Amino acid sequence: MPPPLTQIQQLHATYRLLTGLALPLDSWREHQWYDWLQKGHTEDDLRTVIRYLRAGIADQTRQRGALRFHNLIGQIDLFQEDLADARARHRGQSLTPARDAALRAIHHAAGSTDHARSAAQVTATLRDPAAASAALAALQKLRDNL
């Protein structure tokens, strides 16, 4: 059974409000919303992804074009990927676990107990042959995992 037109209108109004893009709800967009809903997505999913994308735009890791209707709703597979990324970030999971593990290993090998170090501190620590060797091994492991 197709979703009621009022549900599609509500989704489109939410999209317009959250993105600031005043696009009309024409028959093509209605069809895109229909397909999007058929995949089981909800208004909460839409809000989650738009919030995630807007944060990425603010910190300049995403382009404003990610909010375009065609990119967000018209390409369901990309929406699903962004939704998975947003949920992972919300749970505090890293999207780059191998990189994070290598950085932790370098941090540990350098004998650091604090979390922030200057470039000069890192350089001085890596002059120690044992720490440099451990850091190199961690970087090689990262490269092998990529």
For residue range 49-95, list pLDDT tens digits in order.
999 999 999 999 999 999 999 999 999 999 999 999 999 887 765 55
| Mean pLDDT on 13-21 | 95
Amino acid at 98: A
C-alpha dihedral (8, 9, 10, 16), degrees to nearest 10: 110
Rounded Cα–Cα distance for residues 82 and 126 (Å): 38
pLDDT band for position 99 (50/70/90)?
Answer: low
Mean pLDDT, residues 137-146: 76
Q: Looking at residue 139, what DSSP letter applies?
A: H
* Whether pLDDT at 129 is above 70: yes
pLDDT of residue 27: 95
Q: Are 114 and 132 found together in one domain?
A: yes
Both 87 and 101 in one domain: the answer is no
Domain that holds residue 61: 5-91
The tokens describing 77, both together, are 């597979």
Predicted pLDDT of residue 15: 96
Question: Is 141 or 80 the better-scoring residue by pLDDT?
Answer: 80
In this predicted model, what pLDDT tens digit does every residue of 101-124 receive, in sequence order?
A: 676 666 666 555 555 566 666 666
Query: Does the CA dihedral 120-125-129-133 come out positive or negative?
Result: negative
The total of structural domains in the chain comes to 2
Q: Do residues 69 and 9 share a domain? A: yes
Output the pLDDT for position 70. Answer: 95
CB 53 within 8 A of CB 66: yes
Residue 42's identity, in one-letter code, is T
Q: What pLDDT was estimated at residue 128?
A: 75
Distance of CA 40 to the CA centre of its chain: 20
Q: How far apart are CA 34 and CA 93, in angstroms?
A: 31
Same domain (yes/no): 28, 80? yes
